[in-house]
Chains A and B, each alone.
Chain A
Amino acid sequence: MTTIEIGRMLRAGTSGFVVGCRVSQLNLPSFGALVSVPLEDGYQVYGLIHDIHIDDDGLVRQLVTADGVDAAVIADNRLNRNVPVEMSVLTVGYQQDGRIYHLLPPRPPLSLDMIYLCSAEDIRRFTADGRFGYLRHILRAKDLPVGEILAAHVQQAQAVHASAGNPDWAVSATKELIVLLRDDYPSLMSVLSALTDVFPS
């Protein structure tokens, strides 16, 4: 069961969505993490965080020109001011009637829906289902740092599978990536290079 709230939906489309959270909530989500948006009747949408950004405003730009910024002023800006952190999420699948699909969801989440960080069990269930179909959503996102997202995701998922007694999950995922990218040598090299940084051996 997913219980760690990380923010609420700002805007969404079928292939991705943007989540807003307070700066004080930012210690939990990380780049490449799997998140879910539970909707009605057991329907939930899954996605991977591919960007976390913090917007500035006029006051913040002015405060950085001061010689030093007091701890109280920093706390005020982080806790009281309306400067949300935005996380961009790539949709990678959904669950309906208890079954996981590595397809784009029938409809996106709605404004202000709550977004949760997936638990280890959720990650294991989602990534073990089928034959890595969700990877094609990542590979299709040409404007994103695909190699880096895959490296972060594979690292997090491998840790979950290894502790559940499946130490070969990352090898299987890498083999599937090689198959999917067999006709795109530059992308394959970029992805393998990123994965080598995570798993040097």
Chain B
Amino acid sequence: MALDFLQIREQVRQLGENAPLREQRLQELRQQTCMLLESNAHRIEELRLKVQDVVRSHDPSLRCALPVSEALDDRFPQPDLPPQTTVLAADGSQIAPDRHAEVEYGLTNVGVIRMVYGSDAPPETTAFTRLFYDEDLYTSTGMMSDALLALRRDLNERTMLARQAAQATPPVITFTDGLMEIYASKELVGEESSEFQKSLAEYLDVLFQMQSLGVITAGYVDKPGTNLVVRLLEVAITPEAEFSEIKKRHPLRGVYDIDLYYPLLGAGERSPVFAVQSPSSKVYTGPLSLHFFYLNVGRPGRAWLARVEIPAWVAENPRMLDDLHAVLIHQCRVMGSRPYPYLLHRAHETALVSLQEKEQITAMIALELRRRGVKVGEQSSKQAAKELSSRARYEG
């Protein structure tokens, strides 16, 4: 038997029993947070100084929103679409090395799609595939980790975008799914950690190239679960005398930023732009410093929020900001009832490596090795057992 549903049923019952009370408490907390947003909406400079003070003197790892120039509860309507714009989106997938397979290899596949607004030409898709085999698979600490492969995939995504952006007719907008900053997994240790530093330096170069080309770039986060603005409000209500305890103070825990902006933003509207205060602020500096805004990509009566990360050179340029805002809303509307940028979905489709394709690649490698007289390993017994077909139905 796979699951003991009797055990689960009891735990689900307990979960349901506590839910109404928890929801009521959260609802009160959300209302309180919304009122805090309103009362602090115009204290922009004061809040900036307060955050900077906390970071400098008490918690350098503080992660929160930093107001820039727009009031915390400002909202901005959807601008007109730019007349002619090249839009590029990229996504990636990977096959991690599997010691249970008959051959060990890794693979990254990046899909890029290009669409030109104001042109009748159909979008163009391109895939960039890289196979990792033999020595490529190892670092001084052993087999390449999943995190390192993911890092290489992320860097490839951004590099390919920059390369295509350089060849495209301006103005150019590029976006990827998720955060703009590349992720430093805790799994990356030893040589892999220094590889992260190298990849980070390459990524910063890519961003500088995009800035010099005047490219509008963004990271799109669907259904965001961050509390950066809420954390800012927690700092706002903390008396100066209690700053030393700021790491432990979370009076608004359980409330997310989207709880503040769902009631505020109408269809197509964006929130104010905030800067990101985080340890990575030391890495992404000047024109590359990270900013974000919330965007209601839903329809009237059915709001849906996304968080859009942008670098400072886009945040500080009203035309770039407007073009990005308008294009993202248009892209999401293409998808109808479940808003998400169409081109990001298509980039994902282009990049995706299916299980069937993975099996084909494994067979291709095994065939090539056998053709050259190289002994090919065997699939582990554990994997073979997992792949046994389930009991067949008798149809005779």
Contact = CB atoms under 8 A, between A and B. Distances in A.
Interface stretch (B169-177, B208-216, B342-350): B342-350
Contact of B337 (A65, A73, A80, A81): A65
Interface stretch (A10-18, A25-33, A56-64): A56-64
A59 B345 contact: yes
Contacts of B122: 72, 75-76, 78-80
Interface string A74-91: 011011110000000000
A62 B337 contact: yes
A183 B156 CA distance: 71
A26 to B, nearest CB: 16
Contact of B336 (A65, A70, A80, A81): A65
A58 to B, nearest CB: 10
A168 interface: no
The size bracket of the interface on B is 10 to 19
A80 B125 contact: yes
A72 B336 contact: no
Q: A interface, how many residues as a size bin?
A: 10 to 19
A76 B337 contact: no
A179 interface: no
A64 B335 CA distance: 8
A69 interface: yes
Interface in B338-361: 338, 342, 345-346, 349
Contact of A66 (B115, B116, B125, B333): B333
Contacts, number: 48
A55 interface: no
B184 interface: no
Interface in A70-124: 70-73, 75-76, 78-81
Nearest to B338: A62
Contacts of B115: 72, 76
A78 B337 CA distance: 21
A70 B330 CA distance: 10
Contacts of B392: none
A70 B334 contact: yes
Q: Which residue, B116, B119, B121, B334, has most C-beta atoms of chain A within 10 A? A: B334
A67 interface: yes
Contacts of B23: none
Contacts of B119: 72
Nearest to A80: B125
Given A80-B125, A81-B349, A66 B120 contact: no
Most chain B CB neighbours (cut-off 10 Å) among A59, A66, A72, A80: A72
Given A66-B336, A72-B119, A75-B122, 16 more contacts: A59-B345, A59-B349, A62-B337, A62-B338, A63-B336, A65-B336, A66-B333, A66-B334, A67-B333, A67-B336, A71-B120, A72-B116, A72-B121, A75-B121, A80-B125, A80-B346
9 contacts: A59-B345, A62-B336, A62-B337, A64-B336, A65-B336, A66-B333, A67-B333, A69-B334, A81-B349
**Top 3 A-B pairs ranked by shortest CB distance?**
A65-B336, A75-B122, A66-B336
